[in-house]
Structures are given as structure tokens and as C-alpha cells.
Amino acid sequence: MGRVLRHTGKVTNGEQLLEEFRRQRRAGDPRITPEGRKILTRITMGDLADEFASSLAESSDADPMLSGRPDPEHDLD
């Protein structure tokens, strides 16, 4: 492991876990297959990007939490 605590020279379980999370994040999500990665690329940057952006905008407008508008159902007054 790359991280060592200064005061004891030993790596704690928490440090080991954090280092593992960092390593996994740098390596990418192993749950995404190559076929899934191609679809995600098409959705975010390819021929499906415009359709995805429109759908996302519609969802954001319909959901008060995403739109930033106050929700009349959850008025705190």
C-alpha cells in the first residue's frame, strides 16, 4: 500500500480501505462491460447524446429537487 501513517509507520484498516477505493476509482468500474461502455459513450458523447440531454432536461424540469424550484408539497411554512 502506498500510504503509511507517520506516527507509527503502520497502515490502519481504514487507510487500507481508502487506498483500495482509490485504486478501484482510478481503474474504472469493473461492473461495466465493454458493450456497456460503448452504449454509455454513445449516450454521453455519441449519436444518442442529444436524445439523452433532452430526456435529462425533461426529468430535471419535472423534479423539484433537480430543478431547484421549491416543491409546493413540501412547503416548510
Rg (CA), the chain: 21
Domain ranges for the chain, please list them. 1-31, 32-68
The per-residue pLDDT for 63 is: 83
pLDDT of residue 51: 92
Backbone torsions φ then ψ of 28, nearest 5 degrees: 95, 170
Residue 69's nearest CA partner among 54, 60, 77 is 60
Below-50 pLDDT ranges, the chain: 1, 4-5
Q: Please give the model's pTM, rounded to 2 decimal places.
A: 0.43
CB-based contact 3:15 (threshold 8 Å) = yes
